[in-house]
Structure 1
Amino acid sequence: MKKEYLILIALILILGAYLLFHKENKDNYVLPKIVQIDISKITGLIIDKKQGSIKFIKKEKNWLLTDKEYLADLPSVENMLDTLKTLKLSALVSQKGDLKRYELDDKKHIRVKVLEGAKTIFEFTMGKPAPTFNHTFVMLTDNKNIYHANGSFRSYFDRAEDNFRDKKVLDFKKESIKRFTIEKDGLSKTLISKKIKKDGKDAFSTWNSEDGTSADKEVISNLLSSVSFLECEKYLDSPTKKSYEKEKPLCKIRLENESGIELTLFETDKEDIFKGISSMNDYVFALSQFNGKEIVSNIEKLLGISKKEKNKD
């Protein structure tokens, strides 16, 4: 009987030792260290996924996109660079290679390469965000393990090429414009800002047409506000800006400051969809319905077109 007790006690001790060793071995794994990246030395980024590859190159202070060297949206690039700067592993998730479960398989993964000149200085693959949305599943090069990386950052990299482009088509200070000309439907008007003085000091400003007729200051303010920082909805591959410069426009606005600025809008087959070209951008673009209608409506009000149209109806 004592012998059986001793055997039982021995088995319990062995089992306890095994469980303790297994737990310690599991909890005390060593996470790979990611050497902090000096983002000031990064000259390129490559994002690879099933849909294709997107490449960013830094030239002087600008980030350019693809071999066509489109200007990239700086906040979008900075989000990616900040992610790389602070990238840190926090836990081992799996050693089983279950890539599909974590969206690290060929259909879903995103692979990021960081370049310094022609040299790849860092590379990793990301999957989906963890259920907590505080981590992202990642894999490192030459390492089959799956880890948690701090932060939910997949959305910074998982974008279409067009969504990485700088969508800014006009950018100027509203106060810098003292004179501008608008054109639509064969009508044209030049509007001039004039300072009104009181007791020898500038009291307020007013807007008049060239013949001295006063103009609606609120409508002018709305128009200038709508174009002073204007972003397009998307860019159009064809036709080119040069070919559009020969087309009859829907409307045009020429703003006078130190450099001179032009915005021209064109009608399309779809109602309330506007294509445009700008002197501050090299590409043909499409405006959102809201932005396009607001600009056209304000131009029509200043030219008196809207009243005429109502009378016709």
Structure 2
Amino acid sequence: MKKEYMILIALILILGAYLLFYKGNKDHYTLPEIPQIDVAKITSLTLDKKEGAIAFTKKGKNWVLTDKEYPADSPAVENMLDTIKTFKLSALVSQKGDLKRYELDNEHHIRVKLVQDEKTIFEFTLGKTAPSFNHTFVMLANDKNIYHANGSFKSYFDKPQDDFRDKKVLEFKQASIKQFTIEKEGVSKTLILKEDEKDPKKSSPKESDPKESNKKKTEITWTAEDGTVADKEAVSNLLSSVAFLECKKYVSVPSKNELEKSLPLCKITLKNEADIELTLFKTDNSDNLIGISSMNEYVFELSQFNGKEIVSNIEKLLNQEKADLSPKDIDLIKEEANLKPVP
């Protein structure tokens, strides 16, 4: 019996020593040092994943995508570069190579490669976000271990190529526009801004603010060539809807050259330092409008909201608004035309 106790005590001591040794090793491992990266000197960035590689190249101060050199979305690129600039490992997660568990396998991973003047300066593989949402699982090049990197940043890298493109198709300062022309269904109208000074003595400034009485005020009107005054609110809504216009996505068919030969739905020409043009077209296979712009080289598709807002304001200014008819109204119209009403 005494012998059995001695064996049991020995086993407990051995087990305790093992656990102490294992914990000591785990708590005192050395994390790899991540080199300090000057993101301003990076000349190319590649995201390699199952769907294919997305390549970014720096051209002057701007970034472009792929060999076609599509302009890249600056905030999207900056988010990635800021992540790389502050990239830091916080813990060793696994040495077992369980890649699928952490979405570091070929099916899910994103391999990020940074190049400076044709030399790879840093490379890592990006997995899923940790359950804490404060870390991301990563692997370093030539290292089989899996680590925690500080921050939840996978969403910055895990996007389709089209989401990295600059969606801006039109941009100008609304106050800089003094004249513009709108066209739709063969009807066009040119509107010119007129600013008339108000007599401050005829105005009624607030008694609590006497300084306002000495300020010159201007009255803004938009006038057509025939002298008629346009709806100021419709003008303001139209200009604000296109002053910073982003598309929903880009389309490859039809080409810009083909569209320029087609009959448009509507067109806007804005007078600035140079003419700014936006031309919109209907398509047979989508409710969304496609368009071309003098400030963008590619054919794009607008969201339904943006497209409807622009067209409705053009129609209002051209007096082409269509009243919404009820089914009953439609039946009456058809009856008057000796047509069978809708059942």
- Name the TM tier (shorter chain): over 0.9
Q: Deviations along 1:159-207, whole A, 9 cap, x unmatched?
A: 1111100000000001100100000011110001100112394422111
Cα displacement (A) at 1:260: 1.3
Give yes or no for contact 1:167–1:232 (8 Å, CA) kept in 2. yes
Cα displacement (A) at 1:122: 0.4
Cα displacement (A) at 1:211: 1.4
Q: How well do the aligned residues superpose, as a CA RMSD in angstroms? A: 2.0
Tell me the number of residue pairs that the alignment of Structure 1 and Structure 2 aligns: 313
Residue 212, structure 1, aligned to residue 227, structure 2: yes
Aligned partner of residue 30 in structure 2, secondary structure? coil
Quick one: which amino acid aligns to residue 96 of structure 2? Answer: K
Once residues 231 and 304 of structure 2 are traced to their aligned partners in structure 1, the CA distance between those partners, rounded to angstroms, is 24
Aligned partner of residue 298 in structure 2, secondary structure? coil
Residue 264, structure 1, aligned to residue 273, structure 2: no
Query: In the alignment, which residue of structure 2 is the partner of 1:232?
Result: 247
Cα displacement (A) at 1:237: 1.0
Cα displacement (A) at 1:147: 0.6
Query: In the alignment, which residue of structure 2 is the partner of 1:84?
Result: 84
Quick one: which amino acid aligns to residue 237 of structure 1? Answer: S
Once residues 24 and 39 of structure 1 are traced to their aligned partners in structure 2, the CA distance between those partners, rounded to angstroms, is 37
Q: Deviations along 1:95-114, whole A, 9 cap, x unmatched?
A: 11011111111111100000
Q: Which runs of 5+ in 2 are unaligned?
A: 201-215, 334-343
Give yes or no for contact 1:195–1:202 (8 Å, CA) kept in 2. no
Once residues 194 and 160 of structure 2 are traced to their aligned partners in structure 1, the CA distance between those partners, rounded to angstroms, is 46
Residues 3 and 268 (structure 1 numbering): CA distance in 2 closer, same or farther, change over 3 Å?
Answer: closer
Query: In the alignment, which residue of structure 2 is the partner of 1:72?
Result: 72
Query: In the alignment, which residue of structure 1 is the partner of 2:269?
Result: 254
Q: What's the TM-score, normalizing by structure 2?
A: 0.87
Aligned partner of residue 53 in structure 1, secondary structure? strand
Percentage of identical aligned residues: 70
Q: Which runs of 5+ in 1 are unaligned?
A: none
Aligned partner of residue 54 in structure 1, secondary structure? strand
Query: In the alignment, which residue of structure 2 is the partner of 1:109?
Result: 109
Once residues 218 and 177 of structure 1 are traced to their aligned partners in structure 2, the CA distance between those partners, rounded to angstroms, is 15
Once residues 147 and 290 of structure 2 are traced to their aligned partners in structure 1, the CA distance between those partners, rounded to angstroms, is 46
Aligned partner of residue 296 in structure 2, secondary structure? coil
Once residues 323 and 99 of structure 2 are traced to their aligned partners in structure 1, the CA distance between those partners, rounded to angstroms, is 65
Query: In the alignment, which residue of structure 2 is the partner of 1:145?
Result: 145
Residue 38, structure 1, aligned to residue 38, structure 2: yes
Query: In the alignment, which residue of structure 1 is the partner of 2:131?
Result: 131
Once residues 108 and 11 of structure 2 are traced to their aligned partners in structure 1, the CA distance between those partners, rounded to angstroms, is 48
Aligned partner of residue 113 in structure 2, secondary structure? strand
Residue 244, structure 1, aligned to residue 287, structure 2: no
Query: In the alignment, which residue of structure 2 is the partner of 1:276?
Result: 291
Once residues 83 and 240 of structure 1 are traced to their aligned partners in structure 2, the CA distance between those partners, rounded to angstroms, is 37
Cα displacement (A) at 1:134: 1.0
Query: In the alignment, which residue of structure 2 is the partner of 1:93?
Result: 93
Quick one: which amino acid aligns to residue 188 of structure 1? Answer: S
Quick one: which amino acid aligns to residue 307 of structure 2? Answer: G
Residue 26, structure 1, aligned to residue 32, structure 2: no
Q: What's the TM-score, normalizing by structure 1?
A: 0.95
Once residues 156 and 164 of structure 1 are traced to their aligned partners in structure 2, the CA distance between those partners, rounded to angstroms, is 10
Quick one: which amino acid aligns to residue 90 of structure 2? Answer: S
Q: Which moved more, 1:194-203 or 1:139-148?
A: 194-203
Aligned partner of residue 33 in structure 2, secondary structure? coil
Q: Which moved more, 1:251-260 or 1:17-26?
A: 17-26
Residues 188 and 3 (structure 1 numbering): CA distance in 2 closer, same or farther, change over 3 Å?
Answer: closer
Q: Which moved more, 1:6-15 or 1:299-308?
A: 6-15
Aligned partner of residue 144 in structure 2, secondary structure? coil
Cα displacement (A) at 1:243: 1.9
Choose 1 or 2 for highest CA Rg. 2
Aligned partner of residue 32 in structure 2, secondary structure? coil
Give yes or no for contact 1:273–1:289 (8 Å, CA) kept in 2. yes
Q: Which moved more, 1:203-212 or 1:115-124?
A: 203-212
Once residues 39 and 301 of structure 1 are traced to their aligned partners in structure 2, the CA distance between those partners, rounded to angstroms, is 50
Cα displacement (A) at 1:17: 2.2
